């Protein structure tokens, strides 16, 4: 039987860590320590080749040791087979010129490790602060001429909404209403109009800006306690202002597992999972810096959501400590062409004033 045709995986980076040369396949998130002749083997598999052809080029090593190494490199996904099913090839290869910088960053920052008990982090930081205080939170230019500014205009609804926004971590048991959810989704994600970009077609316009009006973001809504709406997971159709139901059920424990260690969001009636459809941006911007654009947009949308919720007298929050792969599995998205980036949620404010977020205002 002929040996299979193999090729080096397209998503490999190398770096030194603790004195060892590491090869990382950032698509499959596998790492190996690269000892000779592994670098030579991977180099020779730069195009489709059979193992025998590579073995013939490395006469200093025995055929059996090279065969074993090639098998290992294939097992750890550093070599791919020409006859492998298409699905086992990495979607990340479609990121083209976004690789390796953005692809490596995207994959290696997925599924952060979060402490089960946030108290552990808190105690660690207290110990750290004792010998290494945190950096100053403001920057000053001592000696520079200072120009006092006139008092800011904080009257009116808009400044008051801005000043009232806080991250809430305690919610009333009362559900929010379908009307409140509708307003939140419409003012944050709904397409408000269209712009014609010659030769590129119609692009949507929303209340938040988007680089090149590509609008890569999507919103999935876990409805847990909304009066007038069945529990379940929905996708918000931003063109028609419709919720598309994907699953039913309260999803309690599952939704909590999306936000590891953040028990304070457990009782939130609504969780919005914000994803990005990267090809919308990659189609126009064929360089990895555009990944930054997508992240900035997630911030714009989340802030709009939080401000709208504040204006409605609700209790919004946001979180980036997410169990990405678990969420992506449930949303049935592949985590590469569409990936979760951020989550926002909302509930009713607790009536008990002691459960409200506190902060000291400046004089
Ligand atoms: C990008 C981003 C990520 C955040 N992630 C979390 C999080 O994982 N868990 C959480 O409880 N709060 C999270 N927050 C909320 C911050 O902790 C909160 O904004 C901060 O404490 C300041 O409070 P304020 O929002 O009331 O001004 C996040 C905020 C931002 C902007």
* Beta carbons of 320 and 131 less than 8 angstroms apart: no
Task: Give the H or E element holding residue 347.
Answer: strand 338-348
Q: Which domain holds residue 23?
A: 6-89
User: What CATH number did the domain enclosing 40 receive?
Assistant: 3.90.930
How many structural domains does the chain have? Answer: 2
Asked if residue 178 has its Cβ within 6 Å of ligand 1, the reply is no
- Plot region of 227 (φ>0 → left; ψ -120 to 50 → alpha; else → beta): beta
Q: Does some domain include residue 98? A: no
Distances (CA, A) of 4 to 48, 50, 52, 223: 9, 6, 10, 49
Q: Does some domain include residue 295? A: yes
Burial class, 146, CB count within 10 angstroms (exposed 0-12 / middle 13-18 / buried 19+): exposed
Instruction: Look at residue 363 in the predicted model and tell me its pLDDT.
Output: 45
> Do 333 and 242 reside in the same domain of the chain?
yes
pTM, to two decimals = 0.94
Asked if residue 118 has its Cβ within 6 Å of ligand 1, the reply is no
Task: Single out the residue in 37, 54, 89 at which a domain terminates.
Answer: 89
Instruction: Look at residue 142 in the predicted model and tell me its pLDDT.
Output: 95
Q: Which residues of the chain have pLDDT under 50?
A: 363
Asked if residue 166 has its Cβ within 6 Å of ligand 1, the reply is yes
Task: Single out the residue in 56, 74, 89 at which a domain terminates.
Answer: 89
> Do 273 and 179 reside in the same domain of the chain?
yes
Residues 6+ apart with CB under 8 A from 218: 235, 236, 238, 274, 275, 276, 277, 338
Q: Distance between CA atoms of 141 and 160, rounded to whole angstroms?
A: 30
Instruction: Look at residue 362 in the predicted model and tell me its pLDDT.
Output: 57
Q: Distance between CA atoms of 73 and 77, rounded to whole angstroms?
A: 6
CA 166 – ligand 1 centroid, Å? 9
Residue the block writes with tokens 């419409």: 186
Nearest partner of 278 among 194, 347, 343, 217, judged by Cα? 217
Q: Distance between CA atoms of 107 and 96, rounded to whole angstroms?
A: 15
Task: Give the H or E element holding residue 158.
Answer: helix 157-164
Q: Distance between CA atoms of 63 and 40, rounded to whole angstroms?
A: 14
Q: Distance between CA atoms of 110 and 334, rounded to whole angstroms?
A: 13
> Do 188 and 81 reside in the same domain of the chain?
no
Would you mind telling me the total number of residues written for the chain in this entry? 363
Q: Does some domain include residue 96? A: no
Q: Compute and round to an integer the Cα radius of gyration of the chain.
A: 25
> Do 65 and 165 reside in the same domain of the chain?
no
CA 306 – ligand 1 centroid, Å? 11
Closest protein CA for atom 6 of ligand 1: 319
Closest protein CA for atom 27 of ligand 1: 166
Q: Distance between CA atoms of 243 and 211, rounded to whole angstroms?
A: 26
3 state DSSP class of 342: strand
CA 318 – ligand 1 centroid, Å? 6
Contacts for 283-289 with beta carbons within 8 Å, 24 or more apart?
283/214, 284/200, 284/212, 284/214, 285/211, 285/212, 285/214, 286/96, 286/97, 286/98, 287/97, 287/98, 288/97, 288/98, 288/99, 288/101, 288/102, 288/103
Q: Does some domain include residue 211? A: yes
> Do 72 and 166 reside in the same domain of the chain?
no
Q: Does some domain include residue 24? A: yes
Instruction: Look at residue 60 in the predicted model and tell me its pLDDT.
Output: 97
CA dihedral 141, 144, 150, 156 (to 10 degrees): -20
> Do 77 and 219 reside in the same domain of the chain?
no
Instruction: Look at residue 90 in the predicted model and tell me its pLDDT.
Output: 79
């Amino acid at each position: 039987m002929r040996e299979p045709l193999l090729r080096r995986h397209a998503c490999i980076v190398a770096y030194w860590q603790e004195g060892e040369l590491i090869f990382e396949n950032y698509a499959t998130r596998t790492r190996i320590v690269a000892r000779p002749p592994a670098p030579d083997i991977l180099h020779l598999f730069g195009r489709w080749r059979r193992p025998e052809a590579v073995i013939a080029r490395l006469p200093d090593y025995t055929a059996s040791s090279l065969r074993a190494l090639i098998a290992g490199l294939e097992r750890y996904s550093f070599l791919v087979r020409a006859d492998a099913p298409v699905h086992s090839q990495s979607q990340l290869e479609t990121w083209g010129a976004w690789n390796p910088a953005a692809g490596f960053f995207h994959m290696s920052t997925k599924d952060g490790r979060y402490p089960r008990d946030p108290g552990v982090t808190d105690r660690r930081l207290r110990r750290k602060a004792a010998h290494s205080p945190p950096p100053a939170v403001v920057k000053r230019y001592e000696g520079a001429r200072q120009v006092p500014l006139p008092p800011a205009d904080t009257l009116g609804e808009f400044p008051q909404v801005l000043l009232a926004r806080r991250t809430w971590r305690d919610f009333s048991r009362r559900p929010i209403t379908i009307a409140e959810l509708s307003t939140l989704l419409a003012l944050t994600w709904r397409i408000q109009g269209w712009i014609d970009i010659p030769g590129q077609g119609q692009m949507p316009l929303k209340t938040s800006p988007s680089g090149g009006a590509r609008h890569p973001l999507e919103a999935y809504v876990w409805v847990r306690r909304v009066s007038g709406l069945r529990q379940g997971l929905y996708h918000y159709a931003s063109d028609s202002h419709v919720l598309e139901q994907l699953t039913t059920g309260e999803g309690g424990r599952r939704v909590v597992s999306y936000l590891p260690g953040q028990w304070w969001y457990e009782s939130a009636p609504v969780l919005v999972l914000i994803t990005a459809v990267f090809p919308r941006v990659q189609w126009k911007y064929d360089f990895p810096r555009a990944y930054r654009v997508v992240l900035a947009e997630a911030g714009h949308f989340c802030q709009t959501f939080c401000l709208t919720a504040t204006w409605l007298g609700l209790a919004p929050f946001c979180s980036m400590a997410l169990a990405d792969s678990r969420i992506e599995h449930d949303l049935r998205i592949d985590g590469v062409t569409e990936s979760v980036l951020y989550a926002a949620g909302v509930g009713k404010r607790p009536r008990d004033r002691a459960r409200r977020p506190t902060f000291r205002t400046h004089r």
